Amino acid sequence: MEALYEIRHVFKHLVQVTESRMVCSDDIPLSPAKGQNVVGIHFTWKRRHNEVLEVLPYVEQVFSRFNAKPHFGKLFLMSGKRLH
């Protein structure tokens, strides 16, 4: 959360709600929590799609420090190679 707070000026104007959740390990295929307990950080973005796409690389860069995985079906720009 501190790492996101450091770059909040980049994206805070585009966020309606941010939610964090602790998620127990599961065995569901393609689940971000498969095989490990995780913390999920969820954003509800304002309907300014192009602007959100511009800030996602900054947010994803912060998450990459923690080997974060996106939630499939949600908005992300991470490459398939990086995701793998």
Query: How does pLDDT run across 34-50, given as a tens digit for each residue?
Result: 999 999 999 999 999 99
Question: Sorting pLDDT into bands at 50, 70 and 90, what band is 27?
Answer: very high
What SS3 state is found at 69?
A: coil
* Domains of the chain with CATH codes: 2-78 (3.30.70.2520)
Interatomic CA distance for residues 29 and 51, integer angstroms? 32
Q: Which residues contact 39 (CB under 8 A, 6 or more apart)?
A: 20, 21, 22, 23
Residue 23: phi and psi, rounded to 5, are -120, 130
Query: How does pLDDT run across 49-76, given as a tens digit for each residue?
Result: 999 999 999 999 999 999 888 877 788 8
Q: Considering the entire predicted model, what is its pTM? A: 0.82
- Residues 11-19 have a mean pLDDT of 96
